[in-house]
Amino acid sequence: MANEAWWRGAVFYQIYPRSFFDSNNDGIGDLYGITTKLEYVAALGVDAIWISPFYKSPMADFGYDISDYRDIDPIFGVNEDFDMLLRKAHDLGLKVIIDMVLSHTSDKHSWFVESRTGSECAKADWYVWEDAKPDGTPPNNWQSVFGGPSWTFDTRRGQYYMHNFLKEQPDLNYHNPAVQDAVLEECRYWLERGVDGFRLDAINFLFHNKNLEDNPAREGYNSHITQFEKKSPHGMQIHKNDISQPETLEFIKRIRALMAEYPGTMTLGEIGDEDPYKTSAQYSDNGKYLDTCYNTHFMSGQSKDFAADTIRKPIEEFITQPYESWPSWAFSNHDVVRVMSRWGRIQHHTNNPDFAKLLIALLCSLWGTVFLYQGDELGLPEADIPFERLQDPWGKYLWPEWQGRDGCRTPMPWNSDKKHAGFSTAKETWLPIPNEHLELAADSQENNENSTLHFAREFLKWRKEQPALITGDITFHDTGDPMILSFTRSHPTQTLLCLFNFSDEEKTVAIPLENQKETILRPFGNFYVSV
C-alpha cells in the first residue's frame, strides 16, 4: 500500500465518531475513544479509515454543519487528540481520510454571521442571497433534500438565502473566487496536519445555476430516487439547475492541483445525482478530477429484493459510462438503513451470521474500492428508535414513514456484559443501544471462532494475497438463476472466478470453465476458484 494509488482496491473502515467509543463518559463518542480502539480496527485487516466530521459545530446535522473547519468540537476533544489519533493510525499502517463538507457551512460560521449583516460587508456574496419575488415568495421552486423550499428568508439582511439541506446549513457561493480560495485553504490546513485524503461530502452540490432557473417537474420517479424522496417535494423535481453544474468540474481541478502538492493523498467524492453512475464516472475520469467517487446505489432506499442483478446491474452500468474511472462501493453508512436489515429483512435473515458473512465477502470481492461501515464486521442490523429518542432532524420530518438515520448510528456494542455494551459508562448515551446488538457485541464474537467478526478478519487477510480482488477487472456471467451471482476478476498475475448464493437453499452451480464442472454452494455461501 506504499504506492501513491494506495486507495485503488483498498478496504476502508468508516468511523462515525459520536458512536464509536466514549472515553470521557458523557454518552458521546470522541477522538480519543477512536484512538483507543485503533488496534481493533487494524486487526480487521483494513487499509484505511474514514472519519465522519468532528469539527466545531452546533450539531444541527450532527457535524455536517461546520462552524469552524480548523477546530475540533469540544464533545470530540481537542486538536491534539486528532494528532494523537493520526500518529497511532499511521504507526498501525492505517491511512486516514476525513470528511470535508464544502458545499455549505453552519449558519453559526463566522463567514455566514458576517454575510448576513448586509450587502455591503466584505463577505456579502460568500453565500447565495436573493431578493424575494414581488409577492414575497422564494426566488424559485428549488426544494431542500430535508424538506421544504431551498430558501429561508433572513430578516436581518432582508433577503432569502439558499440551502440544499437544513436551513441551518446555508450554501456557499462558489461563483465567487474568494470562496473557492478560502475552502481550499481549509483543506490545506488538514493536509499540513498529515491526513491522507478527503471524503468530499455532496461534492456535486457546490455550484448552482446563476440565473436561478426553476427545476422542471419530474414525471414519475427514476430508479435512483428512494421511496422516502418520492414522498417529499425534493423528489418531485428533476434537479437540473440546483446541483451538478458544469462549473463544478473546473473547481475540482483546483482541488486536484492542491492534492498534487501532497503526494500520496487521495480524494473521494460523494455523489447524489439524477444519474449517479454517469456523474460518478465523469467526476473521476482518468485522473483529471477526483480519484474515485463513492457511489450510493447499493444503499438507496429500502430494497424490495436482493438478487444477483441487485449487484450486477449497477456495476455494469458504471462500466458502460464513456469515462476511464475507478469506482467505490459500500453497502452501509451513517445515512442509510443498515444492510443486514435492508436486504436481510426481505429474506428474514436480519440476524443470520451466514448472511452477514456473505455480504462482507461479496462487497470485498467487487471491482473497486470498498467501504465497510462500523458494525458491518459484527453483522449489526438496524436499530429501532422510539420517537421520543430520535435525534435526526430528517427522521423527525419523515416520521412515521421512516425513523431517519438514527437506526444506523447507534453506539458500537463492545462488551455484552457491561453497561451500554461497553461503549460508555454515562447515565445515558446519545442514542440507545438495542438489546439485539448485545449478543453481537465484539467481545462475544471474539470468543466465537465461527463469528462474523472472525470471518471478516480471515477474509480480509486472504484478500490481501489476491491481486485479482484488489485491482483486477470484472466480467459477469449468466447463471440462469436470479439468486446466483457469478463473475470473474482478472489481473495480469491471477484470474479468480467468484460465485455467490444469495438464497437460503443449497444450490448446485455450473462453473463456467471449459470443462464445465459443478460445485455445491451452501445457503448464503461463496466459492472462489483460480482460472
Q: Cβ neighbours of residue 162 under 8 Å, at least 6 residues apart?
A: 127, 128, 129, 130, 142, 150, 151, 170, 171, 208
Listed residue (145, 184, 186) closest to 61, CA to CA: 145
Report the predicted TM-score, pTM, of the whole model to 2 decimal places.
0.96
The per-residue pLDDT for 11 is 98
The per-residue pLDDT for 357 is 97
Listed residue (298, 311, 300, 295) closest to 479, CA to CA: 311
Neighbours of 39 (CB within 10 A): 10
Question: Cell 488538514 appears where?
Answer: 190
Provide the phi-psi class of 233: left if phi over 0, else alpha when psi is between -120 and 50, else beta: alpha
DSSP helix/strand/coil, 279: helix
In this structure, are residues 105 and 139 in contact, taking their beta carbons and an 8 Å threshold?
no
Q: Which helix (H) or strand (E) holds 12?
A: strand 11-15
The per-residue pLDDT for 287 is 83
> CA 123, 125, 128: angle at the middle one, nearest 5?
130
What amino acid positions are annotated as catalytic residues?
Answer: 201, 261
Whether the link from the prior residue into 263 is cis, omega within 30° of 0, is no
The per-residue pLDDT for 512 is 76
The per-residue pLDDT for 516 is 67
The per-residue pLDDT for 266 is 98
Burial of 194 (0-12, 13-18, 19+ CB in 10 A): middle
Burial of 50 (0-12, 13-18, 19+ CB in 10 A): buried
The per-residue pLDDT for 345 is 67
The per-residue pLDDT for 301 is 55
The per-residue pLDDT for 1 is 44
Burial of 530 (0-12, 13-18, 19+ CB in 10 A): exposed
In this structure, are residues 202 and 270 in contact, taking their beta carbons and an 8 Å threshold?
yes
Q: pLDDT tens digits, residue range 58-88? A: 999 999 999 999 999 999 999 999 999 999 9
Pairing mode, strands 484-491 and 327-330: unpaired
CA pair distance 439, 437, nearest whole angstrom: 6
Q: What is the dihedral of CA 350, 354, 357, 361, to 10 degrees?
A: -120
- CATH for 466-530? 2.60.40.1180
In this structure, are residues 484 and 509 in contact, taking their beta carbons and an 8 Å threshold?
yes
pLDDT-flagged residues of the chain (< 50): 1-2, 223-225, 227-228
Q: pLDDT tens digits, residue range 284-318? A: 999 899 999 987 778 875 555 789 999 999 999 99
Question: Cell 458504471 appears where?
Answer: 318
In this structure, are residues 45 and 458 in contact, taking their beta carbons and an 8 Å threshold?
no
